[in-house]
Amino acid sequence: MDLNEDGKLDILSGCYSETNFEKMSLKHMAGLFFVLWGKGQGQFSPPEALKGADNKLLIINPGSGATHVDRSSCTRPTAIDWNGDGKIDIVSGNLEGSFTVFLGEGKGLFNPKNTWIRSGDEILKLKQRHSDPTFADIDGDGDLDLLSGSGSGGIFWAENKTPDPKVNRFKLSKFKTLVPPHTKRLTFDSYESAKPSYSSRIWVDDINADGKLDILLGDKAIFEWPKKGIDQKAYEKWRADHEKLLKRNFELFHEIQKLTEEELAHPDEGRPKELAEVRNRLGINHDQKEQFIYTEEAGHVWIYYGK
């Protein structure tokens, strides 16, 4: 997409958080947006953090009743003319699974105040985390629909039901599931290995040039299988401990968002201390994994041909 209208294609990207994970304030963590400005002939500038029209870093404001970690981190941007004014806007996903818009002001500048995409009166969001928007007229009715993958996998579709896209470009319904999210661990000899896995990222195009839109899906698959001769009870205890620690880590991470600055100033007390202890135990637990199972990671690209 040509963000700054100079006739050269640019590359737009998000990120998990603006600062090093170990040093950042968990209460205020937020992802940035990066652009590699096109120079022509396949050449691009080094990545540059995108700024708003106020010359400050473009950061998602989570709004009331939400946390920075949920709504401001894991930015997943796409460029589109959201409001039909002829200027490129940014629509971004996030950790929570919701979607927000920064309206463009032309020449690569964007209004620093984001607004949340809604379905009716409610903020539009996935049931899963990690939204990643892309737009296409998937139902062939002449307007653009919103599609997304998720951290749990799958493909999700928010149909655009606007009566007149020239007057109001988007009136989005709640998400429907086109491909269900992944729910099971994979082994190389299992049937499940022939299905898309976690962290789905999608793109829509007519891949086979038959006049019908197809969906490309990229994923991350983690395969695991027990080692021979292991103590099954010991393995099951390790797995149960692992899941319990992961759950508590997730809970504490979000509890910390509600702490005051004074509470955060004392990391050796209360919930910050417990979070550090849980993460230490998670590290020990993770190291024990090699006693019980083999693991391999792989990424696949899947295609769903349009009918």
Cα–Cα distance, 60 to 123 (Å, whole number): 15
Q: Hey, how many other C-beta atoms are within 10 angstroms of the C-beta on 31?
A: 22
Tens-level pLDDT at each residue, the chain (307 residues) = 899 999 999 999 999 877 544 444 555 667 899 999 999 999 999 999 999 999 999 999 988 767 667 788 889 999 999 999 999 999 999 989 999 999 999 999 999 999 999 999 999 999 998 999 999 999 999 999 999 999 999 999 999 999 887 778 899 999 999 999 887 766 655 555 567 888 999 999 999 999 999 999 999 888 777 788 888 888 888 888 888 888 888 787 777 766 666 766 666 777 778 878 888 888 887 788 888 888 888 888 999 999 9
CA 120 to chain centre: 23
Best CA proximity match to 133, nearest among 78, 79, 204: 78
Please give the model's pTM, rounded to 2 decimal places: 0.83
- Can you give the three-state secondary structure of 225-256, one letter per residue? EECCCCCHHHHHHHHHHHHHHHHHHHHHHHHH
Q: Which residues contact 166 (CB under 8 A, 6 or more apart)?
A: 84
- Which pair of structure tokens corresponds to residue 105? 């002001």
Cα–Cα distance, 213 to 137 (Å, whole number): 8
Q: What is the pLDDT of residue 249?
A: 81
The residue with tokens 């020239």 is 166
Q: What is the pLDDT of residue 202?
A: 95
One-letter amino acid for residue 265 of the chain: A
- The arrangement of strands across the sheet holding 11-14 comes to 11-14, 33-36, 48-49
Cα–Cα distance, 249 to 256 (Å, whole number): 11
* Phi, psi (rounded to 5 degrees) for 289: -55, -35
Q: Which residues pair with 33 in a beta bridge?
A: 14
H helix or E strand, kind and range, residue 275: helix 270-288
- Rounded to a whole number of angstroms, the distance between the first and last alpha carbons of the chain is 28
Best CA proximity match to 85, nearest among 141, 25, 168: 168
Q: What is the pLDDT of residue 289?
A: 81
Cα–Cα distance, 218 to 198 (Å, whole number): 9
Cα–Cα distance, 36 to 11 (Å, whole number): 5
Q: Which residues contact 280 (CB under 8 A, 6 or more apart)?
A: none
| Buried-state track 220-235, b at ≥16 Cβ within 10 A, e below 16 | bbebeeeeeeeeeeeb
Q: Evaluate whether 123 touches 131 at the Cβ level (below 8 Å).
A: no
Q: Hey, how many other C-beta atoms are within 10 angstroms of the C-beta on 286?
A: 11
Q: Hey, how many other C-beta atoms are within 10 angstroms of the C-beta on 206?
A: 12
Best CA proximity match to 135, nearest among 33, 205, 187: 205
Q: What is the pLDDT of residue 22?
A: 45
